[in-house]
């Protein structure tokens, strides 16, 4: 699933490790989520949303949004 994690991190000047520390997960997990290789569980998605102060749908893109972004 596509997401805006890289942009959101860049806006805050956080490395993947910085975000991993905030989430209490490994850096590899952040990398897997960010690159769309792994879709997080709901609790982890809510944790991400809380950290960025956004709603889940502001971080993860729905299928229609992904298609629109690709076009």
Query: In terms of CB distance, is 43 or 64 closer to another protein?
Result: 43
CA-to-CA separations, 55 to 17, 28, 58, in angstroms, rounded: 22, 23, 5
Q: CB of residue 56 vs another protein: minimum separation in angstroms?
A: 16
Residue 52: how many CB atoms within 10 A of its CB? 20
Q: Which two tokens stand for residue 12?
A: 């805050």
Q: Which part of the chain contacts another protein (CB under 8 A), choosing from 25-33, 50-58, 63-71? A: 25-33
Binding mask 35-64 for another protein (x = CB under 8 A): x-xx-xx--x--------------------
Q: For residue 11, what are the contacts with CB-CB under 8 A and spacing of at least 6?
A: none
Query: In terms of CB distance, is 41 or 64 closer to another protein?
Result: 41
């Amino acid at each position: 699933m596509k997401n805006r994690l890289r942009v959101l991190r860049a806006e805050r000047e956080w490395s993947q490790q910085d975000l991993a520390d905030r989430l209490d997960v490994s850096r590899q997990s952040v990398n897997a989520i960010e690159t769309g290789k792994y879709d997080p569980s709901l609790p982890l998605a809510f944790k991400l949303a809380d950290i960025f102060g956004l709603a889940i749908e502001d971080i993860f893109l729905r299928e229609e949004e992904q298609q629109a972004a690709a076009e």
